Structure 1
Amino acid sequence: MRRAWNRFSRFAARLRREEAGTASIEFVVMFPLLILLMATGFEAGLYSTRQALLDYAVEKSVRVLRLNPDDPPSYSEMVDIVCDAAVMVPDCHNAIQVELTPIDTETWDIDPGPVYCRDRENDYTPEIVFDEAGGGNRLMLLRLCAVFHPVFPTLGLGARLTRVSENDYAMVATQIFVTEPTE
């Protein structure tokens, strides 16, 4: 027994003095952290780009609504306008939901409730709230909800995003505008 103990203690002492393999330990510790950091940075950049393009698409569609109060676009035309401008929205026609509601200027009630997004996993599209902005000088609220799959759903930012379904997260763009007077 004593002999085995001496062998073990000599082996342990030799391991303590040995410096080979220390770079491997640093790599094993640091590599997952670097991958997590890179994945989070990529996801954040993609999220920011999509949000900026979604805001641009809403601005472009609002311009059409605001300047043409006598001939407002229908819901499907509005989706086409948004999808033409939001080039980084994959499967755009099936990923977005557009709401257009008037705001009562007597009560100034701007809270139309929660934003309803599509649930692509259950093939559910919420009721379309789209009051065509007919007539001039009306205060309108446009909300657009787009759903996306995170690129890295289990790493960094992708794991922290608020989900609307098991695999999708939502991104919302909102704009309030006044249609131009007709006379």
Structure 2
Amino acid sequence: MILSSAKRLFRRFRGDTKATVTVEFAILMPLFFMLLTSTVELGMVVLRQSQLERALDIAVRNIRLTTGSAPQHDVVRDQICDLSGFIDNCSTSLRLEMVQLDPFAWVDVNEQVDCISKPEEVLPVRGFSNTGRSNDLMLIRACMRFKPLFSGWGFGESLSTADPEGLVSLVAVSAFVQEPK
């Protein structure tokens, strides 16, 4: 009895073509939504990266042109934060490193860029050497961390899986030569 009524119901369901568009919509809509959110997420990452690089370049230009001054970490960080505009909680999520390099006796800079892992955690400034003399080669790195807009979906999810807190790191690097005094 139950088996024959189930067969009848299945035949009637199989023969009905009214909801075929709804089934296609239900299958394809999550894919289109994931594509849309991934596009927005990628656009925001590219925008943040380009704004960070632009702000670092302008800050480095100001350092280079103010010959004789010794820039302090907090002043440079605040200048980058003001110029960027896309860094949330900038004083805690942006970390700078400036090292003096000798082009004639080259020593590689540590490839591992340490970013701030938690806003509550206070880390000392890593190698912010502002003692460059005339014609010294200086390298400055800025690392910012942020939470993706769609951290649980699409591209944002794949970005945030590498970090246990779900944050993404962006790094900008610039080099300059101290102008002669």
Superposed pair shares fold, TM > 0.5: yes
Are residues 1:12 and 2:20 paired?
no
1:102 — aligned with what? 100
Tell me how far apart the structure 2 counterparts of residues 15 and 166 of structure 1 sit (CA, whole Å).
47
Are residues 1:59 and 2:53 paired?
no
Contact 2:93 2:119 in 1 (8 A): no
Structure 1's unaligned 5+ residue stretches are none
SS at match of 1:161: helix
Identical-pair percentage: 29
Query: Residue deviations 1:56-92, cap 9 Å, x none?
Result: 0110111012112301321111111111111011111
Query: Residue deviations 1:17-59, cap 9 Å, x none?
Result: 1112222211211111111111101100000000000000110
Are residues 1:178 and 2:177 paired?
yes
Taking only aligned residues, the RMSD between alpha carbons, in angstroms, comes to 1.8
1:168 — aligned with what? 167
Structure 2's unaligned 5+ residue stretches are none
SS at match of 2:179: coil
Are residues 1:69 and 2:72 paired?
no
SS at match of 2:141: strand
Tell me how far apart the structure 2 counterparts of residues 85 and 33 of structure 1 sit (CA, whole Å).
37
Segment of structure 1 superposing worse, 100-109 or 162-171? 162-171
Tell me how far apart the structure 2 counterparts of residues 52 and 6 of structure 1 sit (CA, whole Å).
65
Contact 1:119 1:164 in 2 (8 A): no
1:22 — aligned with what? 20
Segment of structure 1 superposing worse, 4-13 or 35-44? 4-13
Tell me how far apart the structure 2 counterparts of residues 136 and 98 of structure 1 sit (CA, whole Å).
22
Are residues 1:119 and 2:117 paired?
yes
Tell me how far apart the structure 2 counterparts of residues 136 and 165 of structure 1 sit (CA, whole Å).
43
How many aligned residue pairs are there? 180
Contact 1:116 1:126 in 2 (8 A): no
Highest Rg: 1 or 2? 1
The two structures have a TM-score, normalised by structure 2, of 0.90
Segment of structure 1 superposing worse, 92-101 or 8-17? 8-17
Tell me how far apart the structure 1 counterparts of residues 41 and 34 of structure 2 sit (CA, whole Å).
10
Contact 1:69 1:134 in 2 (8 A): no
How far does residue 104 in structure 1 lie from its aligned partner after superposition? Answer: 1.7
Contact 2:92 2:119 in 1 (8 A): no
1:146 — aligned with what? 144
Q: Kindly tell me: are residues 113 and 8 of structure 1, through their superposed partners in 2, closer, same or farther at Cα, counting changes over 3 Å?
A: closer
Which residue, 42, 46, 49 being the options, matches 2:47? 49
